[in-house]
Amino acid sequence: MNSLSGKFPLALAGILLLSGCTTAYQKNKFGDFDRALVEGRSLDALTIAEQHSGLDDTGKADDLLWSLQAASLMRQEKIYARSNSLFDQAEHGMKDEDTKHMLMQGVELAGSMLVNDSITSYTQTQYDGVMLNTYKALNFMAQGDYANARIEWNRTEDRQRRAAEHFAAKIAAQKEELTQEEEKVDKENVNRTLEAADPLLAQQGVDLSEWQAYDGYVNPFATYMHGLYFMLKAQDKSDYSKAHSSFKRVYGLTKHADVKTDMNMANALRRGQSMESQKPTVWVLFENGLGSKKEEFRIDLPLFVFTSNVSYSGIALPKLVERQSAFSNLQMGPVKTRPLASMDRIIQAEFKTEFPYILSREVIRATLKTVAQKQLQDQNQLLGLAAGLTQAATTGADIRNWSALPKEWQLARVQRPSNGKLNIKVAELEQPLNVTLDPESRFHLVYVKATSPMQTPQVEVMNL
């Protein structure tokens, strides 16, 4: 017994250290980063993201999620080349994750069933991939590199086209995985536990019933920008047809009047009208606020195992928490920006497809841990207590997500001012945003980014 007592504290300390790295540390990392964004300290947030990405002096990073966070903030600060370098690395990381050797996936999954999902490699969401290519395309457009922008818009649209197929395949794979995990426990008891979860989840405000994806899991903003690019940078009539198709799809999803105007313009161009006959126009895109983030909550479920003689039994789950917009809208004379696409809705829809899988895995994991705890308790009270402490310490939710994404995008389409000066009013700010447009250009994209009401919106002008 003395030998056991001597070794036990070291083993327990090791387990608690592992769990601490994947729960409390995870919360601290995101807490500091998100707090900086909310307070309008975007440069501080960028520094934090760079540190967590593992970015070195050669520009190489080794963390997929934090590379996305850092790259999007570099874009906000107009550090375009470095932003796209990190996005490129993240895209390679996504491909590696997609093609990861099955044996390595099995090792990760087995380990996560002993601890929690946050010890596995970050797996990108579908919207991560879409937004990565969208931001890369916008970076290239801001640099006047329209050839590479074309490549990225094509990649963006290809991801959108395959979205529904992606989710069908992913759900099927998750069901197969859960079937294998359920063989390790009593399936009937797991099902009874899942049934008992609904009212407890409702008490935590977890109600996914109202969340609906855009048809086909489309991101209307990305599809709209695809259309705008191919209309304004068309190389032939087929590009106008691409633009018309994109605008038509977005109008069907949003009924935005300005999108309908763009759709009619693309249709006229594909039917032979010249670009010179179109009125000089400014498109104002407003990237507003911060999108939903994940937070952990814990509940004690009535796990239907064969005993109640255990020290701890509970589960930890992620939930989405909506954040506020930075400002209500932008106004150019009598014209106001209006909502075009909700990133919240896109995030919620994908989370909704994932949550049943997350919940089932967590219940199976808790059942495995509780059965093991009971078996150790039967052998030795000290071991049983240790197992209970370990279970409590290693119970944690995976709260990783690309939290620098916006809450929404708004759009307004206005006639180009004859003097080339665009005055943008923000209701909550005293001073307007004054934008000077290139007199040599007839068409302009003015991209306004506002993360927090505590920071002046950043303006990006692309003369097209």
Per-residue pLDDT of 283-303, as tens digits, reads 999 999 999 999 998 887 665
pLDDT digits (tens, 9 = 90+) for 60-74: 999 999 999 999 999
Give how far the C-alpha of residue 261 lies from the chain's centroid of Cα atoms, to the nearest Å. 30
Write down the domain spans for the chain: 2-463
How far CA 165 is from CA of 63, 159, 224, 245, in Å, comes to 27, 10, 21, 20
Q: What is the pLDDT of residue 185?
A: 80
Rg (the chain; Cα; Å): 25
CA separation (Å) from 198 to 253, 356, 361?
31, 11, 15
Q: Spell out the long-range contacts of 188-194 with Cβ–Cβ below 8 A and sequence spacing 24 or more.
A: 188/304, 189/303, 189/304, 189/305, 189/367, 190/304, 190/360, 190/363, 190/364, 190/367, 192/304, 193/301, 193/302, 193/303, 193/304, 193/363, 193/367, 194/359, 194/360, 194/363
Residue pair 456/429 in contact by the 8 Å Cβ criterion: yes
Phi, psi of 336 (to 5 degrees): -115, 150
Instruction: Provide the residue type at 288 as one letter.
Output: N
pLDDT at position 100 is 56
Q: Which residues contact 11 (CB under 8 A, 6 or more apart)?
A: none
**70-108 residues labelled b (16+ CB within 10 A) or e (exposed):** bbbbbbbeebbebbbbbbebbbebbeeeeeeeeeeeeeb
Res 364: pLDDT: 87
Closest Cα to residue 341, out of 244, 428, 258? Answer: 258
Q: Are 126 and 97 in contact (CB under 8 A)?
A: no
pTM score, two decimals? 0.89
Report, as ranges of residue numbers, the positions in the chain whose pLDDT lies below 70: 1-25, 97-116, 301-313, 384, 387-388
Distance from C-alpha of 134 to C-alpha of 152, rounded to nearest angstrom: 7
Q: Please tell me the predicted confidence (pLDDT) of residue 184.
A: 80
Q: What is the pLDDT of residue 188?
A: 78
Spatial contact of 153 and 137, defined as CB atoms under 8 Å apart:
yes
Supply angle C-alpha 76, 79, 85, rounded to 5: 110
pLDDT of 254: 97
